[in-house]
Amino acid sequence: MKQLVIVILLTLVSITAFGQVSANQSANANLTVNSGINLAVTGSVVFGTVVQGAGSTINAATAPVASVAAFTTSAAPSTAMTVTYSNTSLTSGSNTLTWTPSLVGTATAASRATAPTITSGGSVTTNTSGNFYFWLGGSVSTATSTPSGTYSGTFTLTVAY
């Protein structure tokens, strides 16, 4: 009788091991490919000449076009992009001034005068053609002790999906 019980138990274990159960499920995958981003600039911010202890401010929305830098972005239509930039130094030899940039922008090229201020880290959306327009100005102050010289620097604007 002991032998018979052992054979039955081994048979049950064998049946359980071969009776596997499985299930399948599928998931969809989606991918959107955006075109690359092109960013072109025309012009420069022209602060002009100031005396020691004075400053210069270029209002990006209302200053003459010859005084502001203009950027045109070409990207995917109707797409949000993040805009980043930072204060920039203007230097003359080892002397440095801080340029606080002012950036305005809009999806309509003809709307510069009413374009809102774009802060660094902000988001903008391209128009249905994939364009967005920026204008750059800013301000620079000098102390009465600021050394004479021609000061220059470079502003970097970054736009990203």
Any bridge partners for residue 67, and if so which? none
Tracing tokens 């249905």 back to the chain, one arrives at 128
Q: Which of 80, 85, 160 is nearest to 117 (CA)?
A: 85
Instruction: Return the CATH number at 105.
Output: 2.60.40.1090
- 5-59, pLDDT tens digit by residue? 444 444 445 555 556 788 999 999 988 777 799 999 999 999 999 999 999 999 9
pLDDT of residue 6: 47
Residues 45, 155 contacting (CB under 8 angstroms): yes
pTM: 0.79
Residue 127 lies in a domain: yes
CA distances from 64 to 5, 80, 100, 149 (A): 101, 29, 19, 24
Residue 3 lies in a domain: no
* Number of separate domains in the chain: 1
Domain, as residue range, for 104: 36-160
- 49-107, pLDDT tens digit by residue? 999 999 999 999 999 999 999 999 999 999 999 999 998 999 999 999 999 999 999 99
